[in-house]
Amino acid sequence: KLAVKAVGNQFWFYYDDQEMPGCPYTDNTFASGWIGAYIWDFVLSPIYLYIDDIVVTDAITDIKPTDSPLISDFALQQNYPNPFNPTTNIAFDLPVSATVQMNIYNSLGQKVRSLVNAFFPAGHHQVQWNALDDAGRSVPAGIYYYQLRTNAFQATHKMMLLK
């Protein structure tokens, strides 16, 4: 458990409710009209404490809540439009950052397109498929499956391409 207590320009750092050596740390670098923020980190055995000053030079504004709710679960949405011709959108939600793989398979289970293989931050995302295979050729009309994989989640949905 890590904790920081600040009073004026003095800071106390605690690890498992034990005050860390060198406390209180006194910051004498405050300049009138500037606000300091601190990033710190330490490594046990022995304990090292690193403190860095970050100066905010723009006007301070209130933090406003976002209009969209926080994402708490992995989800793969149904593509839209479905049926489609020639493009469709596929949306997915990540509650945490993750490497995402999304592949498109034909009705025989053969992979026709590796659509995504990249790292995504937590949040709501959308990709588009243009009915082309990995070689850039147009695929025939029919039923296709799209599969999303992360290290903690896997889901597959069906879609229909009309021509």
Per domain, the residue ranges of the chain are: 2-56, 75-161
**Which pLDDT band holds residue 71 (cuts at 50, 70, 90)?**
confident
Radius of gyration in angstroms for the set of CA atoms belonging to the chain, rounded to a whole number: 25
Exposed, middle or buried, 146 (CB in 10 Å: 0-12/13-18/19+)? buried
- Tell me: pLDDT of 135 over 90: yes
Comparing CA positions, the residue from 73, 69, 128 lying closest to residue 98 is 73
Q: Is the pLDDT of residue 47 over 50?
A: no
Q: What is d(CA 93, CA 77) in angstroms, rounded to the nearest whole number?
A: 8
Q: Percent of the chain scored above 90 by pLDDT?
A: 52
How many Cβ atoms are within 10 Å of 116's Cβ, its own excluded?
19
Take residue 15 and report the two structure tokens written for it.
Answer: 């690890």
At 117 the three-state DSSP class reads strand
- Confidence at 160, pLDDT banded by 50, 70, 90: very high
75-161 maps to CATH 2.60.40.4070: yes
